[in-house]
Structure 1
Amino acid sequence: MFGIIKDWRQQRILEQSQFTDADWQLVAKQIPILERLTEAELAHLFELATLFLHDKSFTGAQGFTITDNVKQTIALQACLPILNIGLDSYDGWTSIIVYPRAFKSESTVTDEYGIVHQKNQSRSGEAWQRGPVILSWDDVEHAGNRDGHNVVIHEFVHKLDMLNGRANGFPPMQPDMDPARWTETMARGFEDFQQHPKSGLDRYGATNPAEFFTVLSEVFFETPDKLIAAYPEIYEIMVKFFRQSPLQA
């Protein structure tokens, strides 16, 4: 029964959406990484993005105005990682906050001597566990250009990682995946990346396993050839995790 009700509810949302297929097509054409999708995949992405916008709320920070283009641009890229996983992956939170440009974020770090330090860093995005996703529009505008950097994918993959707790590079696996293989493959790759930079892979990924996962996810969707050249086994397990094969498009 619940499945039927859910399908009916979603169908009503899709039918009553203010955005037409032509509206979505117009925005999608501004995001080069979506060009690899088939017509059927793109149609499915439009539906996911429509449902996503119905469930999430957008707030502009520091006077930033949330326009339809802003919402659609973020929604399309946020839904790309879950294209074949499902919108339920983003349950449990609702808010997306958009700054006009990079924003300051305070964090607390404890060093090896137990001394607590306050850090004030400039960020292009953040994802909070059971909280909002925060994005810099200046960085979102330049996402999706096949350069291996995508702040939207980065932060929303953090959300996938957080589905089983704090982000640690070990998200809930798909039913047909081997968690032990994921752990071994990612740990080996992370250890190597800390010592040996790879062309096309942002060094920010060497920060910790969670950032390694999200940075490589950006590359997986934007420049998959760079990932398979550096870490073919990681590309393979990401194909199974995201249920997509960007290199075969």
Structure 2
Amino acid sequence: MKALTRWLAAAVGMLQPSKPAIPEELWQAAWQRLPFLAGMPTDDASALRAMTEDFLARKVFSGAHGYEPDNLARLTIAIQACLPVLKLGLQAYEGWRGIIVYPGEFVIPRQVVDDDGVQHEYEEDALGEAWDGGPVVLSWFDDPADYDGAHVVIHEFAHKLDQLSGGADGMPPLHAGMSQEEWLRDFDAAYADFCQRVDAEEATLIDPYAAENPAEFFAVCGEVFFTSAQDLKNAYPEIYRHLCDFYKQNPASWSHVTSS
């Protein structure tokens, strides 16, 4: 009986996805590509590393257009993907497995129907796209400067969280104790104000792309929340407060000392 128990335990272990150990040199190389993580509390940085290992074991990366993402690309993407769910858990990303990586920008075919019922087809340059119920599609640049300030991974994984409500509309499923009424009131007001500023061609710290629709506003605000927290807190303090409650993190409180 003991031998059978040991055999079953070993068999179950073989069925579980193994967590790849991340070499320290590779972890540091990826961490250095993400300067906004400098100052993250030590305990959170350790938890992020453990979650990243789990994420890499669960998700399947594939390249496109003849490109195959290397270990640095996969790890850098995985760290950023885990950041929004650090306090929420990887169960938020269940139900899909694929991450498709392009070598730079890619083109997405679009179809729209105008008010007269005429269908128009066009192509749109993109850095990322999150498919509802499907994979996340991302671009990768060897030089971080080529992203021109965009944080596409955080952006697309914010969309994944938004989609948990049944569709990306800027209203993700809220936690117990959070008010949907207050969320909608404050996000609607901030979005209207932001669109007005963009229409007036004001310079904004938030990417003007956030004015596209409420879902993009939520995703872009998520980018800024993690990468330039104080800017979001200054511009829209109520939005910052809601995102603190939603992500269960407070990046504006991080110090400026690297704690990886």
TM-score (norm 1): 0.88
Relative to 1, partners in 2 of residues 1:18 and 1:248: Cα closer, same or farther, differing over 3 Å?
Answer: closer
Partner of 2:33: 30
* 8 Å contact kept, 1:190–1:212: yes
CA distance in 1, matches of 2:142, 2:167: 25
Counting matched residue pairs gives 238
- Describe the SS at the equivalent of 1:196: helix
Partner of 1:174: 175
Q: Does 1:242 align with 2:243?
A: no
TM-score (norm 2): 0.85
Which structure has more relative contact order (CA 8 Å, sep 6+)? It is: 2
* 8 Å contact kept, 1:154–1:214: yes
Relative to 1, partners in 2 of residues 1:138 and 1:144: Cα closer, same or farther, differing over 3 Å?
Answer: closer
Partner of 2:221: 216
Which structure 2 residues correspond to residues 88-167 of structure 1 after superposition, within 5 A? 88-138=91-141, 141-142=144-145, 147=149, 149-167=150-168
Query: How far is the alpha carbon of 1:24 from its aligned partner?
Result: 2.3
RMSD: 2.3
Mark the runs of 5 or more structure 2 residues left unpaired by the alignment.
1-8, 255-260
Partner of 2:257: none
Aligned to 1:80, which of 83, 93, 108? 83
How far does the alpha carbon of each residue in 1:148-171 deviate from its partner, in whole angstroms, 9 at most, with x for none?
Answer: x30000001000000121210000
CA distance in 2, matches of 1:135, 1:192: 30
- Describe the SS at the equivalent of 1:81: helix
Q: Does 1:188 align with 2:193?
A: no
Partner of 1:59: 62
Which deviates the most, 106-115 or 80-89? Answer: 106-115
Give the residue type in structure 2 aligned to 1:100. P
CA distance in 2, matches of 1:49, 1:143: 24
**Whose Rg is larger?**
2
How far does the alpha carbon of each residue in 1:64-113 deviate from its partner, in whole angstroms, 9 at most, with x for none?
Answer: 12211111000001111111111111111100000101001011112222
Give the residue type in structure 2 aligned to 1:180. E
Relative to 1, partners in 2 of residues 1:245 and 1:143: Cα closer, same or farther, differing over 3 Å?
Answer: farther
Mark the runs of 5 or more structure 1 residues left unpaired by the alignment.
none
Aligned to 1:205, which of 205, 210, 229? 210
Give the residue type in structure 1 aligned to 2:98. S
CA distance in 1, matches of 2:167, 2:110: 16
Which deviates the most, 99-108 or 136-145? Answer: 136-145
CA distance in 2, matches of 1:77, 1:68: 14
* 8 Å contact kept, 1:154–1:215: yes
Relative to 1, partners in 2 of residues 1:99 and 1:212: Cα closer, same or farther, differing over 3 Å?
Answer: same
Query: How far is the alpha carbon of 1:144 from its aligned partner?
Result: 9.4
CA distance in 1, matches of 2:86, 2:235: 25
CA distance in 2, matches of 1:58, 1:22: 21
* 8 Å contact kept, 2:93–2:160: yes
Relative to 1, partners in 2 of residues 1:21 and 1:138: Cα closer, same or farther, differing over 3 Å?
Answer: closer
- Describe the SS at the equivalent of 2:95: coil
Partner of 2:49: 46
Which deviates the most, 212-221 or 222-231? Answer: 222-231
CA distance in 2, matches of 1:21, 1:177: 39
Give the residue type in structure 1 aligned to 2:75. Q
Q: Percent identity?
A: 39
